[in-house]
Amino acid sequence: MGPKLARIFSVLLCASACAASRSESPQAALGAYAAALRSGHAREAYDLLSVDAKKDIPFDSFSRILRENPDEVAEMGRSLARPVGPPRVTAVVKAPNGESLLLVLENGEWRVDGSAIDLYGQETPEAALHAFVRAFKNRRYDVLLRFVPDAEREGLGVDELKRAWEGAERTELEALVAAVETNLPNGRLEVTGDRATMAFGAGGTVELVREDGRWKVEDLR
């Protein structure tokens, strides 16, 4: 499977988690989505996608994928029809600064997810960028070291990082990090596999790479 096709299939799979069918339960919505995929009913499946999922893939592209890859799509439908556990109903609330807070529905009541206390999380590109900015502003070089990709870690410790970032490059870094922070509330991250990129300011970019499940800052310029 080529990278473009793999990306589209990931959209189809992710969309299954966002499928909603009027007042039905999550199980019923997922079951309907899986059945539509197995049957190749593109319109029925597409109607079950969330608004955000439909922004990522227009109906014509969605329909073409189902039409050109019937065996793979049918297998995906069969797999989705056999969930490994009960559904986990969540909601995401975005703060004015762009940070997201995850809520979980438990026993009919909404609770704040444990990720809310992780000030320096790296589980998603967006969380990693917020954590990177916070660590830089707080001069937490021990934390910033976690954001250095493995290929660049050799011989680099907290003291070395501190000397480099509080030296001649400090002013430039402060300006770059401030621009990233300003852009985060409305910035759009382009994610492709284990890499992510966000443009900011007048031609600036920040590039991230995922290693061992954690997003790290590979380039900032």
pLDDT at 130: 87
- Sheet with 190-192: list strands edge to edge: 190-192, 195-200, 204-211, 214-220
The pLDDT score that the predictor gives to residue 50 is: 78
Burial grade of 114 (CB within 10 A; 0-12, 13-18, 19 or more): exposed
In this structure, are residues 34 and 27 in contact, taking their beta carbons and an 8 Å threshold?
A: no
Give me the tens of pLDDT residue by residue for the chain, a chain 221 residues long: 444 444 445 555 555 555 544 445 777 787 888 888 888 899 998 888 877 778 778 899 888 888 888 888 888 888 777 765 666 777 767 666 556 666 777 777 888 766 556 678 888 888 899 889 989 988 999 999 999 999 998 889 999 999 988 888 888 889 999 888 888 777 778 898 999 999 887 788 999 999 999 999 999 98
Please state the pTM of the whole predicted model. Answer: 0.56
How confident is the model at residue 40, as a pLDDT? Answer: 87
Domain ranges in the chain with CATH number 3.10.450.50 = 120-220
Q: Could you report the per-residue pLDDT of 188-198, keeping only the tens digit for each?
A: 788 989 999 99
Alpha helices in the chain (DSSP H): 3-18, 26-39, 42-47, 51-56, 59-68, 70-80, 125-137, 141-144, 158-165, 170-183
Query: What does the alpha-carbon distance between residue 139 and residue 143 come to, in Å, rounded to a whole number?
Result: 9
CATH of domain 120-220: 3.10.450.50
What count of other Cβ atoms lies within 10 Å of the Cβ of residue 146?
Answer: 17
